[in-house]
Structure 1
Amino acid sequence: MTALIRPSSLQGLTAADRVLFQRFGTGKAAGVPFRRIHDAVLAQARARPDAPAVMHLGASLTYAELDRRSASLAASLIGLGVRPGQHVGLFLTRSIPMVVGILAVLRAGAAYVPQDVRIAPARQLRQIVRSAGIEVVLTTREHSAALPADLGRVVAIDDEHAHGDPPAAAGGGTAMVIFTSGTTGRPNGVQVTHANLANVLLTAPGSLGIRPGDRVAQLLNIAFDMAAWEILGTLAHGGCLLIRGRDIEETARAADVVIATPGVLSTVDPQACPRVRTVAVAGERCPAALADAWSRRARFHNACGPTEVTIVNTVQRYDPRRGPLTIGRPVPNTTVYVLDDELRPCPIGQAGEMWAGGACVTAGYAGDDVLTAERYRPDPFLGGPHRMFRTRDLVRWTADGQLEHHGRTDDQVKVRGFRVELDAVTATLERAPGCDRAATLLYEGGLVGFVTPSTAEPELIRRSAEAALPYYSVPAMIVPVEGLPLTERGKVDRRALLSRLDSREPAGTVA
């Protein structure tokens, strides 16, 4: 549980702000029922063995079948020499074997390293194998022939494996290694522990109220940390995971709970999904109009947090009748600090950079102690062995203790000598008449705003922006497009948008 913030670390604040720094920045203390995330899944298998655990393209597994198949595969992994603390590649795509593989690796005491083989090039897979020290790779028969030949021992999940339970494995350390491009331009493997996952997935609000029998959509790329929220968050509470095929909305329509990026959620019509009762978004800024549309039909959670602080570290249950859209408060047993460039606490209400502490802070980057030391620092507010992580999110506390998101430090650009936050410009464009969604980019020294739908009127949007923004923040071009392209992880693909300008391909009316 989160320790108290040390008063000696708050010398620069007024007495009133010291109280609020502690009150606002400390998540509630909560008990976590399981030390290892897969123990929660296995408890569900014992309690309701005949309940459906996972469905995909007409096939399904009950909890008892998932338990049996993952136990057999875990025994085979241990027989191949996989030991607690090791990393096992999970190189495949959305499927029932994907879920079996995750649970088997965890039961063997190892950590899984997921990659979608339809998307990840051979060069990237080789680099991940090297940097994570992977000796065994799990895949399926369908994909095994397409993998590079030099990845180590490759095991097909859908082959026959030894029967019976695996030997008791220790484990309890790292549960998964998620590779993110980070700010260095090369993949960085974030080591997420069982304690990290159990804290966010087994306590509210991260548990999302998932109950036995609830159907949860699995929409996201398996290499994305939010996929663990979908998969392990569902199975740990006895829900049924609905793995999508090609049609995202078809899966969402059959679900009770949807977890997605705003980009993915924007492709789903809320009126077509009357069954959905809970929605959670994270991964990028959520447009207010999207939150409003879904919150009229379901409990809507807006969350924030990079992989390094375990999927999300702040969550708001959004209700437009109670106040504006924010990123909420820290999840249980964690802390949030709003700090200036010198790592001093900002006065309450002043914008600064979000650093996260407590149970959300992951174990650093696999094989990169230098980058770990740069981004993870000793936590002066909790003291002792605690570390805090620099999220690069710009935030400020509201008067009632909600975190407003003001973009990211790596999304700040200079235009005509002025500092501009791209997210602030985007939010303004989305408030313009006729604009559903937007993205703002720096291009050849000026700003370009991409807006949807393609029928949006650039001049009308420009006038609206001019009325709300300083002159240097108004995009020089407004480009209507039919839809914003998404990356494989469901976020707006800024490179794809820039390539339209570089190639001078028609992308709608340019004002």
Structure 2
Amino acid sequence: MQLLSQIIEETSQRQPHKEAFRCRDRSLTYEILNEKSSGLAALLQGHGIGVGDRVAIYMPKAVEMAIGVYGCLKAGAIYVPVDPGLPTPRLASVLRDAGVSAVLTLDRQQKQLMEVLPELDLELQVIVGLPTLNENSIATVPWESLPASSDYQSPSLTENHPAYIIYTSGSTGNPKGILHSHRSGLAYARLAAETYQVNSGDRLGNFAPLHFDQSTFEFFSGPLAGSTTVLIPEEYMRFPASLAKLIDDEQLTIWYSVPFALVQLLLRGALESRDLSSLRWVLFGGEPFPVGHLQKLMKRLSSATFSNVYGPAEVNQCTYFHLSQPPGDDVSSIPIGQIWPETSGMIVDAACQPVPPGELGELLISSPTMMTGYWNRPVLTDAAIVELPQDGEVRKFYRTGDLVRESTDGNLEFHGRSDRQVKIRGNRVELDEIELAILPLSGIEHVAAFATSDPSSDELHVVVFAIVSDDDLLDTSRILLESRKRLPAYAVPSAIVIVDSFPQTTSNKTDYVAMERQYRETVVDDLS
């Protein structure tokens, strides 16, 4: 197998009537998914869309997502998942940067799509999923009207052909597309399926949106193993108790999400009224998991193995750390673990020279799961991918920008981002280190640190937003006291703000940019 599209073709031969994807009360067997994705590929080809062309998938969770992903791949096109909640200017920026030739959508997205089309200087060939647009010359085709699968002609592709582009979800600047090939996507699908022992009896919960790189686990590793993937609608993400009921009702066996979602499930999911014993493996990644919450969740889900999964979208995944027992009270953070198979890592200094054992440095990764590069960003690509000697040969490494240290037991410890390093009065301060210092305090649910400038002096200082479960902490003096015990004076936050929730990016990660804006618009303005 060399192509991602072959996953569905081969699995449909082995188990045609097995449920492949489901969402709400709709589902697709592998046989039907294979036929419908071939029909979509034939439709795209009929409109002149083929190898290397970009096709946007712009829709909320629905089984049509799976048809869209595999239909694009079969046609040789590059699928571009787009957040359905993007504001119009950001949507236009992504579609324009990718240069899409077609859009796969649902009728509920019609209003926003019609708003953005006049802003695009693109020659869209077809929109799948909308009724006829009388005021527009673009061809439209309902999902029910796809051609027969027999009309599909398999293109000539190799593993190095591009397969998909994941756009980063930054709140400022231009979007940046991460381009993966069939080779890198398939390598990740295989390694993840092997590492987490995915099998045909598993039921995977797809929590991550399609435009977030975690989704490739359920869309590729699941079908590779012949398992069933349950797409979790967006509304369930906002109501933890409903999410817990869905996990129970669907008897999910493997879960993968950011820690924030699991913390909300623990705190607000009414887990005592649900039977989640079907979960055998819980994967989390994307940000640190507060240890106290992890302890409680692991005790609640005692039959599951937990794994801290690490890897930027540029390499899909590159390390893991398995936990079969809850971490001890003396543990302050969870390691990102060991480099996974077929992958090499280096910890280097600013000059890309290896640091001595136990020293802090930037993690570099060489892996078959690594991206081809940034879409239409050759300068960024050249800066991110470097060639270095290792074990007698020259290899390509991706510069993660993450600071790690190898512990005496061989596990890698995450110590924040190199670009989350700021200077306070001339002293280097790691914002992630401040978070890790405050998190162990009893009564702290979640904490986020960011740097902002004083409007009166432009002096940079650190502010911490905290979610607490102990009313005693509403008086932040106790948190500040503990901070002074654990941090050098220059790194102690100048302000701690108690909040009910954190702003989130579209990938459900903490949105530090929105958080700083919220602070400046409320607290700072109130003081000025």
User: Normalised by the size of structure 2, how large is the TM-score?
Assistant: 0.84
Provide the residue aligned with 1:428 in structure 2: 437
Q: 1:462 and 1:320, CA in 2 relative to 1: closer, same or farther beyond 3 A?
A: farther
Q: Say whether the 8 Å CA contact 1:71–1:104 is kept in structure 2.
A: yes
CA deviation string 1:315-345 (max 9, x = no partner):
1112457885211122221111100011101
Matched, 1:267 2:264: yes
Matched, 1:122 2:85: no
Distance 1:482 1:193 in 2: 41
Q: Say whether the 8 Å CA contact 1:75–1:162 is kept in structure 2.
A: yes
Distance 1:335 1:430 in 2: 31
Provide the residue aligned with 1:327 in structure 2: 336
Question: Which of 467, 472, 481 is the equivalent residue of 1:452?
Answer: 467
Distance 2:367 2:443 in 1: 43
Structure 1: unaligned runs, 5 residues or longer: 1-33
What SS does structure 1 have at the residue aligned with 2:366? strand
Deviation at 1:183, TM superposition (A): 10
Q: 1:204 and 1:69, CA in 2 relative to 1: closer, same or farther beyond 3 A?
A: closer
Matched, 1:251 2:246: yes
Q: CA RMSD in A?
A: 2.5
Distance 1:488 1:334 in 2: 29
Q: Say whether the 8 Å CA contact 2:347–2:361 is kept in structure 1.
A: yes
The structure with higher relative contact order (CA 8 Å, sep 6+) is 1
Moved more, 345-354 or 243-252: 243-252
Deviation at 1:204, TM superposition (A): 4.7
Aligned length, in residue pairs: 473
Q: Say whether the 8 Å CA contact 1:339–1:353 is kept in structure 2.
A: yes
CA deviation string 1:120-176 (max 9, x = no partner):
233333333333232222222332453132451232152411102421223332111
Q: 1:437 and 1:183, CA in 2 relative to 1: closer, same or farther beyond 3 A?
A: closer
Provide the residue aligned with 2:223 in structure 1: 235
User: Normalised by the size of structure 1, how large is the TM-score?
Assistant: 0.86
Matched, 1:162 2:147: yes
Matched, 1:313 2:308: no
Q: How does 1:19-418 map to 2 (within 5 A)?
A: 34-117=1-84, 119-147=85-113, 148-149=116-117, 150=120, 151=122, 152-157=124-129, 158-165=143-150, 166-171=152-157, 172=159, 173-181=161-169, 185-204=173-192, 207-245=195-233, 246-248=235-237, 249=243, 250-253=245-248, 254=250, 255-269=252-266, 272=274, 273-296=276-299, 297=301, 298-310=304-316, 312-320=317-325, 325-381=334-390, 386-418=395-427
Deviation at 1:407, TM superposition (A): 0.2
Distance 1:252 1:485 in 2: 25
What SS does structure 1 have at the residue aligned with 2:39? helix
Distance 1:180 1:385 in 2: 29
Distance 2:112 2:66 in 1: 21
Distance 1:385 1:162 in 2: 48
CA deviation string 1:183-206 (max 9, x = no partner):
983211111112112222212577
Distance 2:247 2:472 in 1: 28
Deviation at 1:383, TM superposition (A): 7.3
Deviation at 1:88, TM superposition (A): 1.6
Q: Say whether the 8 Å CA contact 1:285–1:423 is kept in structure 2.
A: no
Distance 1:82 1:313 in 2: 34
What SS does structure 1 have at the residue aligned with 2:66? helix
Distance 1:121 1:372 in 2: 27
Q: Say whether the 8 Å CA contact 2:315–2:367 is kept in structure 1.
A: no
Q: Say whether the 8 Å CA contact 2:189–2:216 is kept in structure 1.
A: no
Q: Say whether the 8 Å CA contact 1:358–1:386 is kept in structure 2.
A: no
Provide the residue aligned with 2:446 in structure 1: 437
Distance 1:504 1:203 in 2: 47
